[in-house]
Structures are given as structure tokens and as C-alpha cells.
Amino acid sequence: MEGFINICPICKSKKIFKLYDSKIDRENQYTKFLLEKVVTNKNNIKCSMMGCSDCFLFFFNYRYSKQELNKLYSARYNKKRSEYIDGYKSAFNSNKAKLESRSNLIRKLLVLQNYSKYRNWRKSGKVLDFGGWHGRNIPDIADKTEKYVLDKSNHKTEANIIKLRNLKGNKFDLIMSTHVFEHLVDPLKVLIELVTALKNDGLIYLELPADIVGIIRKPSIYEHINFFSRYSIKNLAYKANLEILYLKIKKYPYAYHSTIAYLVVLQKNKKQRKLNNNLAIKIFDIIKDLINYVRVKFEKKYTLFI
């Protein structure tokens, strides 16, 4: 799935509609970076934000090619961006390193809490952080926890983290993937691949930014190409034969700022139940997203300890 698409990248429905065209504004730091460092042809990012009437996923209808993805998620990820984008410059925030360290600790706790709701502490356990960069967000889930990272960019990982090149030969108790699926050209294909590396009693933990509210501001295409709504997450899980144990919008620290995202806990489906394809439910899910988004947005404290 690369180039321009005229179907939904997850449910493959042709019933898609345009919300707006992505602007090519050279003053925009992100667009400038894409034009000068990533895309092979500037017409590639003359694309549109689309919505799927069937699964309520919102997405840019341009999907980066392999070559472009290699440039977008390359080594020296931060350094390349720092030449264009203020947020990556070291002078941007003098507290950046401290805030990032704090956020790594909190994220670790968040993953552990959500895992522990559904599974007990083990004698030994294997955790994969798919797209996990340095591996600093991986919690211990056992007396002896083996921690793995599989990441497209060749980042330096922490000393105790095992770097993988592919999923072959390993089965995990927990596969986490945080703030990754919104970047993927084919999220369903990747999720199905991850399921093959999951133990039968294993869990998948996802964090997906609740960006659909931000669509109002008509963002231009950049790294995020999928904008998930609650129903689209249900559909993604259903198509990968996964059962949703937990799905909630939360606000928590992310790098040096805070984020509002869906936290999702999934397990292999023992009995495939049909996904309810009722329009009223889909609309109700959007309203639920909006209410929860606004509620957590104005929460002063992070709701971590629940």
C-alpha cells in the first residue's frame, strides 16, 4: 500500500469522503522538512484528509513509499529534524532532558498498570516495544524480564535492551507499541504480524493519539497519516482477531509536553464476536471521544493512579 489510495487503509472500504486538502506551506517547518529531506516528488504531499464512512478512520490518502519512509524514519532522526523544526533544537526548552526522563518513568508506570490489570506478575517474561526507540518505556513484568525493541530507525538503545531486526523466533508476553500506529502505512498488516509473535495468553498494549479532535485545525501531512477514532480502533482490533479489554482516553506526559491518547489493551480473541456495524454506535463513539477528550484536556492532574 503506497502512493495515493482510494480505499480505507484498514477496512478497505471504498466509501470514503474528503475532509480537506493538505496545504503545502513552505513556511511550515514540518512541510519544509518533508519537501527538502523526504519526498521524492513534491506532488506526493498534495494529498487530502479523508474519512471512512464504514470504520470511521481518518487518514491522509498519500502513503509514503519505502524510500520515503527510510528517509523519514532514518538514523539521526532528531539531528536531521533539528535543522528545520524548533522543537528538536537543543535551545528549545532548557528542561527538555529532565522532562523527557520524567515522562519515560511515568510511561513505564502507565504500561505496567494497564498490563497488571489483566495479567499477574510472572517468574520470567518477555516484552517487545514495537517502534520503541531507546526502550526506556518498557516496564518489568516479571522477576526476570527480557526487554526487546524493534524499531525502523536505528536508534541507540539502553544497555539492557535487546534490539531485534524482525519478529521471527520470539513469542512475547507483552507487545507494546506507543505512538506508532498513527505513522504506519498499513496498520492492520502490522498488527496482524505482531499477533503472530504474541503468546496465547499475551497482551498487546497500544497508545494512539486522540488526534481526531485536532483535525478541526486541518493539519498538513507529516508523520501522522492515520487519525483513529474509538470505532476505528474497535474495527482494527476486530480485523486482527483481537478482543478489547480496555479502551480509554487519557492525558499524560509525553516527551517534554503532554499528550491526550487512547490507551488500548488487547488479547487474542477466544470467541470471535461480530463487530456491531450500527451507525448510531459509530456516532455515539465519536460523541464519547469528544466528551472524554474535553474532560481530560481540562484536568489539572494526570489521572495515573487508578
Which one among 38, 45, 50, 52 touches Zn ion, defined by CB under 5 A? 52
CB of 118 to Zn ion, least distance (A): 28
Q: Is 127 in the site for Zn ion (CB under 5 A)?
A: no
Contact pattern for Zn ion over residues 83 through 112, marking x by CB under 5 A: ------------------------------
Nearest-CA neighbor of 250 among 301, 192, 198?
301
For position 240 contacting Zn ion by CB under 5 A, the verdict is: no
Residue 11 in contact with Zn ion, rule: CB under 5 A: yes
164 neighbors 150 (Cβ within 8 angstroms):
yes
Give long-range contacts, CB 8 A cutoff, 24+ apart: 210-217. Answer: 210/249, 210/260, 210/261, 210/262, 210/289, 210/293, 211/182, 212/58, 212/286, 212/289, 213/260, 213/289, 213/290, 213/293, 215/19, 215/49, 215/58
Nearest approach in angstroms of CB 282 to Zn ion is 11
Let me know: does 255 contact 268? Beta carbons within 8 Å: no
3-state secondary structure of 296: helix
- In the complex with Zn ion, the residue whose CB is nearer, 11 or 39, is 11
Nearer to Zn ion, 78 or 277 (CB): 277
Question: What are the cell numbers at 24?
Answer: 503545502
Q: Minimum distance from CB of 8 to Zn ion (Å)?
A: 3
**Least distance in Å: CB of 54 to Zn ion?**
5
Q: Is 54 in the site for Zn ion (CB under 5 A)?
A: yes
Distances from the Cα of 202 to the Cαs of 43, 128, 143, 146, 176, in angstroms? 43, 11, 17, 14, 11
Of 49-57, 141-149, 156-164, 177-185, the segment contacting Zn ion by CB under 5 A is 49-57
Binding mask 26-45 for Zn ion (x = CB under 5 A): --------------------
55 binds Zn ion (CB under 5 A): yes
- Rounded least distance, CB 178 to Zn ion, Å: 23
Please tell me whether residue 13 binds Zn ion under the rule CB under 5 A. yes
Of 1-9, 23-31, 107-115, 190-198, which part binds Zn ion (CB under 5 A)? 1-9
Cβ closer to Zn ion: 47 or 52?
52
Cα–Cα distance measured from residue 215 to residue 233, given in angstroms and rounded to the nearest whole number: 17
Element spanning 126, H or E:
strand 122-130
Considering the complex, state which of residue 157 and residue 235 has its C-beta at the smaller distance from Zn ion. Answer: 235
When the beta carbons of 114 and 235 are compared against Zn ion, the nearer one is 235
Select 220 or 232, whichever has its Cβ closest to Zn ion.
Answer: 232
What is the C-alpha separation between 211 and 89, in angstroms, rounded?
A: 24
Interacting stretch for Zn ion, rule CB under 5 A, among 9-17, 128-136, 213-221, 281-289? 9-17
Quickly list DSSP for 187-253: HHHHHHHHHHTEEEEEEEEEEEE-GGGGGGG-PPSSS--EE--HHHHHHHHHHTTEEEEEEEEEEEE
Site of grid cell 535551545:
91
Q: Which of the ranges 57-65, 172-180, 239-247, 291-299 carries the binding residues for Zn ion, by CB under 5 A? A: 57-65
> Cell 519515560 identifies what position?
104
Rounded-to-integer distance, Cα 194 and Cα 175, Å: 8
Contact status: 266 vs Zn ion (CB under 5 A):
no
Query: Could you list the residues that contact Zn ion (CB under 5 A)?
Result: 8, 11, 13, 52, 54-55, 57
